[in-house]
Amino acid sequence: MTRRFTDLARGLRGHQRGTAITEFALTAPLFLLLLMGIFDYSWQFYARQVLQGAVAKAARDSTLEGNAASQTALDDKVRTAVKNVFGDATVTFTRQTYDSFDAVGKPEPFKDKNGNNSYDAGECFEDINANGSWDADRGRSGNGGADDVVLYTASMEFNRILPVWKMLGQPQMTILKQSTVLRNQPYNAGANANPVKCT
């Protein structure tokens, strides 16, 4: 058996077809891996576009007074739009409400007694989200009221369709997030009560 293989290898050594077979055997795995990576990246790009479109539509609808009381129906629309294409996806939602666009993601203001540029226990702060403690993000949960600015985020966790990531030692599941920021319509009088607390 070994001698037959050796004779075959000697015969192919000077033959062009033998060289082509060897080159293909060396380059094919890398080429296939690259091809699967391109397909997988394109699929994830498509997933992001589906999620972005669904989130943008839901966010526009959520600013209207008729949708302010219950956000479940809007979340269900986003979930349905995503699951029509990605059936195994898990879709979750968060809403943070702010008084203005420039407040999005900002910490609650506090009096920095010791000048270390960070909040320490006992320092006075403005409890903007009314939860009784200082927060690095002043946003309030929920869709807020009239004229409030809402940061609406949808997260989509799904299984990648090709095993290329598993072959590279990466997790097969991936999470995509899409956010949008909009202002609610002035459908009633907003309330802004931000008591100062020192704890």
Residue-wise pLDDT for 181-198, tens only, equals 888 777 655 455 566 666
Per-residue pLDDT, 197:
66
Closest by alpha carbon to 43, among 144, 163, 124? Answer: 163
Mean pLDDT (whole number) for 147-175: 84
Mean pLDDT (whole number) for 101-118: 87
The neighbouring-strand residues paired with 90 are 157
Residue-wise pLDDT for 37-75, tens only, equals 888 888 888 888 989 888 888 877 776 766 666 678 888
Closest by alpha carbon to 129, among 192, 175, 72? Answer: 192
Quote the pTM value: 0.67
Q: Report DSSP state, residue 129.
A: T
pLDDT reading at 10 higher than 80: no
**Contact yes or no for 46/176 (Cβ under 8 A):** no
pLDDT reading at 124 higher than 70: yes
pLDDT reading at 30 higher than 60: yes
Helices (H), the chain: 2-13, 16-62, 72-83, 164-167
